[in-house]
Structure 1
Amino acid sequence: MICSKCGADSDKSVRFCTNCGNPLTQTVESQTDHETRIEQTEGNQNRIGYSERINDPAFASYRRQATAWSFIFAGILAVIVIVGFFIYGETSSEMDNPQALYIGLGIGGMFLTIALLATISRMRIKQWDGVVIDKKIEKKTRRNKDSNGQYYTERYTLYTIVFKTDRGKIINKFEEDDDTIFNYFEIGDQVRHHKGLGTLEKYDKSKDDIIFCNACSTLNDINDDKCYRCSCPLLNK
């Protein structure tokens, strides 16, 4: 099917141009098939479009809690390390305080720095709209080392989904030995990457029976109202 905006030729089964994301003009036959499918799935028409539920306060609360827990966890690790090195410096003949304490403070500070950088990284996540332009399945191998220091060959399957953003940037999403997300998206799907969350939402969810939570990425039933894990609203309405 030829795109009226950029002239690219896309598969007739897709509804958005795989080059620029522009909605494609359907033939009479495809429109009839689409109308029939909508009638057969009555109640799903409200699952076409990006959900306004992303503005629910629960998502902002989830982001704040995630930030708080990352610092709490890092703080606990930092205290354990600092106290451990201090005790080691007091009881060991190999290292004395304050040298041991300084090492503990350095490692503890590293944990807190990692938490800070992770928070800054989440805050810098930007929103973009795009389209799925390709999907790949690759059989790969890599060398790993076991607990005895011996190398062995590991075989795995790499699933790749390729997105093209509205600004023309190509983004690849990888998963190893898990085809759930790979099967969830199809070439031609229009998507939105949400700011501050780093999760993807489909524009057309009318044919789906599953949905990923846009807060914690947990897989849910499409008919559920909230994520069973974090209680954030699912973007299915």
Structure 2
Amino acid sequence: MDLTEAVKSQAKALGFCAVGITSADPFEEAEAAAAQRTADGLMDGLNWWSEARVHASADPRRATPDARTIIALAFPYPSTRPESSKPEHFSSPARGGEQGGGANDGPRGRIASYALGRDYHEVLLERMQPLLAMLREHGYTAKTYVDHGWMLDRAAAARAGIGWLGKNTNVLIPGVGSNVLLAEIVTSTAVPATPACACVPPEPWSRPASSTIAAAFPSGPSNTAVSSHSPSGP
């Protein structure tokens, strides 16, 4: 088994639902689009975002000068919340709601599904470690990105062929949808790029069983904080 197939096989075993490979060339089209949106004020209010960050994030070789390849990964997260964590209602008399009457009435809201379990940055970084070790054992440099790094994640995923940008502005993965978390490994190895995304996903990259996803993101009040334990499951 060559290195490319070994990486894909290991990624599947680690629970990733899609993996693709592309070059480490700059994302010029995505860079121009992101810079224009920033200039138009569409990113106002995000103190951590800037035009300088756009340009830096569009160049994978900025932090890894010898980079030749990007391995784009997608990991599914639970699309529904457990019944035990669902509030009985989301309104209160104070906010004009019809339900209420309890001593604890007050503003209520929904929590995004991906935020209900462990911190996904920790989960994905742990899951990526065997892939990093594999690349480094072959003598290659490798750097991870999990959302908080300066990388245009959606552009990397789309160019690597694991999905396409949908009308909801998210990357759509065949057979999975957009309930995924994106991550990348930038490495000095040179491997063939994967083709553009097909409409029908190959069998190995169909959505994992719900038990696998739940094991990676245990939900409930006691699991909402970042944990130092490794996620269970494959």
Q: Tell me the TM-score normalized by structure 2.
A: 0.30
Comparing both chains, which one has the higher relative contact order based on Cα–Cα distances under 8 Å and sequence gaps of 6 or more? 2
Bigger Rg, structure 1 or 2: 1
Q: Tell me the TM-score normalized by structure 1.
A: 0.30
